[in-house]
Structure 1
């Protein structure tokens, strides 16, 4: 008796799981990148924290800033050091608002520094420490200082364009100009006391240098180091203080 022929088995369907897995992984990666990008954008969009409130007292009083120790400007291989420097109110005090703490309520800022215009500090009794090379420092323009309460409190001095010029003469004839293309801000540390002090430690200042042999003509920045005692000249028994 004839047997029925065995039906042929249908061909197995090709599987595409590896492709499917790869596609899924790619989609998951895209989602992760999208989420990461969104989180990064949100992080960048967060506003910067507000500065601390600042109050400078006594409101409306005039002050002087006088160097204690030595002030130094280091520009490449040339360092000028001065033992006398100060910024004082216009004489007689009351002539203008130079070196004056703003009157209330201007002596307080809810979120930021309190600023005062100052007369350009003078520098004298300067030297380089190099035999045969002398130094002089001249200043000009509209200067300012701003005090910011914090931990620590700070004082920022604004040097106007070309506001400091250091000239050396003798074996090296150089001209070093601070803030040559625009005003520059120099940050220092403020300490309340009797007297209070404003200290600059290797603060960077942009410069340009011209001159011949021995001049650091490739230097583009200088460091400034000095400590000033800040005293009240309106009420000598009072201390200039920076608080919140």
Structure 2
């Protein structure tokens, strides 16, 4: 592969790697009809990546194997909404142990700001993670030096699905996020979006014998 084609492929990977850090295109609005209750009220929880978070851009795959976020179910009566979703603040998800299938490139992800996750009961149960403006930044070193910023001008809604269970899971499938890319040679400065796939398992850290549950 020529140096130019290699640089362009790297650029595509860098744009995609951003979505590994959380991220996705604005999801369809959550349904406003239907009740939602998240229990146990007031309990803290932790979402831990199960397996790998992967992003594929063309023939290039970016993989992160470690990601964690924490949050708290609202106390009653805020854990119940008779006509819409229930929203919880969460910590900015951390992402580490990230690699690229292209040699000579090291991605680093940082997150910040006020993140939230909203649950809407239905069939299926939907989940929306909101990334604040500039809440995720990917920087690369090696063959190319690029900076990719998620939600560069407005908060972005990351659409996913929730499944009750022991433990429950939160899944993002081919989600996408608006991005802004800056940098020199090899950086895809025209890229405006990236995609994300990941599965998180959620545990109740207040009482590990219980499960976080989304019900009508």
> Normalising by the residue count of structure 1, what TM-score does the alignment of the two structures yield?
0.73
Equivalent residue, structure 2, for 1:69: 51
Equivalent residue, structure 2, for 1:40: none
The superposition leaves residues 72-105 of structure 1 with CA deviations (integer Å, 9 ceiling, x where unpaired) of 35568865321000013xxxxxxxxxx1101111
Task: List gaps (5 residues or longer) in structure 1.
Answer: 1-48, 89-98
- In 2, the alpha carbon distance for the partners of 1:163 and 1:73 equals 19
Residue 205 (structure 2) pairs with residue 233 (structure 1): yes
Q: Is the 8 A contact 1:65 1:231 kept in 2?
A: yes
1:168: how far off?
1.2
Using a 3 Å threshold, how does the CA distance of structure 1 residues 165 and 215 change in structure 2: closer, same or farther?
Answer: same
RMSD: 1.6
- In 1, the alpha carbon distance for the partners of 2:58 and 2:81 equals 39
- In 2, the alpha carbon distance for the partners of 1:227 and 1:55 equals 22
Residue 146 (structure 2) pairs with residue 164 (structure 1): no
Residue 41 (structure 2) pairs with residue 59 (structure 1): yes
Q: Is the 8 A contact 1:63 1:100 kept in 2?
A: yes
Moved more, 191-200 or 165-174: 165-174
- In 1, the alpha carbon distance for the partners of 2:97 and 2:32 equals 42
Moved more, 69-78 or 50-59: 69-78
Equivalent residue, structure 2, for 1:133: 105
Aligned residue pairs, count: 186
Alignment equivalent of 1:83, drawn from 65, 78, 83? 65
1:128: how far off?
1.2
1:173: how far off?
1.1
- In 2, the alpha carbon distance for the partners of 1:158 and 1:242 equals 18
Using a 3 Å threshold, how does the CA distance of structure 1 residues 65 and 204 change in structure 2: closer, same or farther?
Answer: same
In the TM superposition, 1:202-221 aligns within 5 A as: 202-221=174-193
Equivalent residue, structure 1, for 2:77: 105
Alignment equivalent of 1:182, drawn from 151, 154, 160? 154
Q: Is the 8 A contact 2:130 2:158 kept in 1?
A: yes
- In 1, the alpha carbon distance for the partners of 2:146 and 2:60 equals 9
1:174: how far off?
1.1
Question: Taking CA–CA contacts closer than 8 Å with sequence separation of 6 or more, which of the two structures ends up with the larger relative contact order?
Answer: 2
Alignment equivalent of 1:146, drawn from 118, 121, 124? 118
1:126: how far off?
0.6
Residue 91 (structure 2) pairs with residue 119 (structure 1): yes
Task: List gaps (5 residues or longer) in structure 2.
Answer: 1-30
In the TM superposition, 1:17-32 aligns within 5 A as: none
Q: Is the 8 A contact 1:120 1:140 kept in 2?
A: yes
Equivalent residue, structure 1, for 2:10: none
